[in-house]
A and B are shown apart, each in its own frame.
Chain A
Amino acid sequence: MKEPIISNCEKAFLLEAISESRRLDGRGMFDYRDLSIRFGKDYGCCEVSMGQTRVLGQVSCEIQQPKATRPNEGLLLINVGLSPMGAPHFETGRQSISSIQLNRLLEKCIKDSKCIDLESLCIVAEEKVWCIRLDLNILNHEGNLIDCASVAALAALSHFRRPDVELTSEGLIIYEAAVKEPIPLGIKHTPICVSFAIFNKGKNIVVDPSELEERVAEAEFTLGVNGYKELCGVHLSGSTQSGPTIVRQCANKALKRAVSVVALIKETLAKDSELRGSNTERGFVECVRQGTITSHGTPKICLPIKHKLPVETMEASHEDESSCDEVEVIGSGTVELKNSSVLATDTAEQVMEVEAKPKVEEISLSDDENEVQILSD
């Protein structure tokens, strides 16, 4: 089936809305959709959803002969399968352009960056090595497959455990999970992809584009970054007249995003291992019971009743460098937002005073240089 055509009025409307810094689903230009990661019962099985986009990742392992050029290293295979389950225009078997692009980006981000320690997967040099196979299935395509797939890949690889082996005089013994604890993969760093859609000759960027935004965008800029704020891959599809400022802005945002995503993955992994340790019910069935995995009953365009006013503009990019980080919690107490005219600037700013209960000491955050702008909800 062919991809359904986008009407001219949808395109024109979307471009006009983006130029006014509005998005169709009510998000801000730099707001991400809700990311949730769920693990299945088996090791290495993980389902990631970003809004309505869903990807299922499964890692499996097998013993094989290594490559002749690298006799000491294990093998890592990544495969992204696009089936009609994800979108009606996806075809199994035939490698469409988007499927090739997705596969190649994930390879660049995960394999070429050498995030998995392949040498630890060697059992007998030149003869037997572990071949780790990562299969990603796109369950639903609502935009930004690259990001979702990369998070699923990383989460699945981090979750996976391979069986323990022992090389004896008789041969190779592979222990079952019940006999000897399986061993996790050696992950050196945690790369994920962050995508940006560029519109209006580089004047507007959005993060986490939805399907319509992706199709209408003139270019999509993907950055592979890891949890240590290092760059692992860069890719631009489409063409846009953008300069170095765009790249720098995107890079800053991508770094922040990578740190938070990696923290979320680690947190979810910790929760999952806790559940496994305490032998409670876990896996996808439990997620369905708890209502964390639900089927689609929502319309394609989700516009919340409350539309956010555009608060962040291109000129306010200095905010990124001076990261408006957080209030330091000195003690328990009350927080009061006061509208004071102490700082008279164009934008409405508020001075936040933290009152610690036992002490009288008041700490007010009103730095003249680093103006903390509290965004009203």
Chain B
Amino acid sequence: MNGSSEGDVVVPGDVVRLTGVKGKVVLGPGLARAGEGVHATKCGVLRKGGNNIFYVDSRQKKYVPAKGECVLGVVTNARGDMFKVDIGSSDEASVSYLAFENATKKNRPLVNVGDVLFGRLLVASKDMEPELVCVDSHGKKGRLGVLPDGGFLFTCSLNLVRKLLRPECPLLEALGKQLAFELVVGLNGRVWLRTGSVRETLLVADAVLAYQHLQPHQVQHAVDQLIYQLSSS
């Protein structure tokens, strides 16, 4: 049997056979070209997305910055022209003080050390430090910028954030029917959450973390348990 095909578990170095595709093939994360063939560079399950995209579905906690992704960062240095933000990658990202809505040289944004920012990665390559912006191309804030007080920030794996960001996430829909909460999910494995009370926040965070291992049919039961816990206090 030469090579692994879709649905197989692969480890780095395994040769991959890309079957059932005519024409151009797109190699997603975890796959690399080696001469004529393709091999896996991560441990995980080989999957096929769409018609011609192959990738390795692996569990990862360390974030590698990619352009265009929205991430949550913590400000570590707020002096001068550039703020330094920790986004969990190997380098700290930088944000210009002008990259906020309504920011001018005279009107500096109110950003302090320890604040949580939700920004989009403008520049992200392995040779340069990443750069964030908290404003879109029209100069509007949208959902980006400094997050308000009173929330809770926690980290999780990158798989979980991708699962949460899928359209029609069953957990968030089920929770949204019963509770009022604000949730910001950063693609760097960080989640910011705010609800009415500490207890609610802890329980919702718990449900979000447990969602990593839940199947869609188990979600409703987990949410029901959560609501029961809340009401029994």
Q: With A4-B86, A301-B209 as known contacts, state yes or no: A13 contacts B157, CB within 8 Å.
A: no
B63 in the interface, Cβ–Cβ < 8 Å?
no
B151, A5: Cβ atoms under 8 Å? no
B169 in the interface, Cβ–Cβ < 8 Å?
no
Q: Tell me if A's interface is mostly helix, strand, loop or mixed.
A: loop
Q: Which residue of A lies closest to B73 (CB)?
A: A7
CA distance A11 to B115 in the complex (A): 11
B113 in the interface, Cβ–Cβ < 8 Å?
yes
Of the candidates A20, A26, A305, the one whose C-beta lies within 8 Å of that of B198 is: A20
> Chain A residues with Cβ under 8 A from B210's Cβ?
305
Q: With A5-B86, A6-B114 as known contacts, state yes or no: A303 contacts B149, CB within 8 Å.
A: no
For window 11-26 of chain A, which residues contact chain B by CB distance below 8 Å?
11-13, 16-17, 20, 22, 24, 26
CA distance A22 to B229 in the complex (A): 15
CA distance A304 to B225 in the complex (A): 12
Q: How far is the CB of B215 from chain A (nearest CB, A)?
A: 16
A309 in the interface, Cβ–Cβ < 8 Å?
yes
> Chain B residues with Cβ under 8 A from A307's Cβ?
199, 202-203, 206, 229
Which of under 10, 10 to 19, 20 to 34, or 35 or more describes the interface residues of B? Answer: 35 or more
B115, A7: Cβ atoms under 8 Å? yes
A305, B152: Cβ atoms under 8 Å? no
Q: How far is the CB of B122 from chain A (nearest CB, A)?
A: 22
For window 106-132 of chain B, which residues contact chain A by CB distance below 8 Å?
112-116
A13, B222: Cβ atoms under 8 Å? no
A244 in the interface, Cβ–Cβ < 8 Å?
no
Most buried by B among A13, A301, A302: A13
For window 205-233 of chain B, which residues contact chain A by CB distance below 8 Å?
205-207, 209-210, 212, 222, 225-226, 229, 233
> Chain B residues with Cβ under 8 A from A13's Cβ?
150-152, 198, 201
> Chain A residues with Cβ under 8 A from B76's Cβ?
5
> Chain B residues with Cβ under 8 A from A344's Cβ?
none
A10 in the interface, Cβ–Cβ < 8 Å?
yes
Q: How far is the CB of B160 from chain A (nearest CB, A)?
A: 8
B202, A303: Cβ atoms under 8 Å? yes
> Chain B residues with Cβ under 8 A from A26's Cβ?
202, 206
B155 in the interface, Cβ–Cβ < 8 Å?
yes
B199, A9: Cβ atoms under 8 Å? no
A300 in the interface, Cβ–Cβ < 8 Å?
yes
For window 161-220 of chain B, which residues contact chain A by CB distance below 8 Å?
192, 198-199, 201-203, 205-207, 209-210, 212
CA distance A304 to B151 in the complex (A): 20
B153, A12: Cβ atoms under 8 Å? no
A5, B206: Cβ atoms under 8 Å? no
B26 in the interface, Cβ–Cβ < 8 Å?
no
CA distance A122 to B151 in the complex (A): 61
Q: How far is the CB of A28 from chain B (nearest CB, A)?
A: 14
Of the candidates A7, A16, A299, the one whose C-beta lies within 8 Å of that of B153 is: A7
Q: Which residue of B lies closest to A301 (CB)?
A: B154
A8 in the interface, Cβ–Cβ < 8 Å?
yes
B147 in the interface, Cβ–Cβ < 8 Å?
yes
B203, A299: Cβ atoms under 8 Å? no
A7, B206: Cβ atoms under 8 Å? no
B74 in the interface, Cβ–Cβ < 8 Å?
yes
Q: How far is the CB of B14 from chain A (nearest CB, A)?
A: 21
A306 in the interface, Cβ–Cβ < 8 Å?
yes
B156 in the interface, Cβ–Cβ < 8 Å?
yes
Q: How far is the CB of B198 from chain A (nearest CB, A)?
A: 5
For window 264-308 of chain A, which residues contact chain B by CB distance below 8 Å?
299-307
B202, A24: Cβ atoms under 8 Å? yes
Q: How far is the CB of B60 from chain A (nearest CB, A)?
A: 12
A299, B212: Cβ atoms under 8 Å? yes
Q: With A5-B86, A9-B192, A307-B202 as known contacts, state yes or no: A300 contacts B154, CB within 8 Å.
A: yes
Q: Which residue of A lies closest to B117 (CB)?
A: A7
B202, A22: Cβ atoms under 8 Å? yes
Of the candidates A5, A299, A303, A304, the one whose C-beta lies within 8 Å of that of B157 is: A299
- 25 pairs from A and B in contact (CB 8 Å cutoff): A4-B74, A4-B88, A5-B74, A6-B114, A7-B115, A7-B116, A8-B112, A8-B114, A9-B147, A9-B151, A10-B152, A10-B153, A11-B114, A12-B150, A16-B198, A26-B206, A299-B156, A300-B154, A300-B155, A301-B154, A301-B155, A302-B209, A305-B222, A306-B229, A307-B206
A residues with a Cβ closer than 8 A to B are 4-13, 16-17, 20, 22, 24, 26, 299-307, 309
- 5 shortest A-B CB distances, which residue pairs? A303-B206, A8-B114, A13-B152, A7-B74, A17-B198
Apart from A9-B149, A12-B149, A305-B207, what 20 extra A-B contacts exist at CB < 8 Å?
Answer: A5-B76, A6-B114, A8-B149, A9-B150, A9-B152, A11-B114, A13-B201, A20-B199, A22-B202, A26-B202, A299-B160, A300-B156, A301-B205, A303-B202, A303-B209, A304-B206, A305-B222, A307-B203, A307-B206, A309-B233
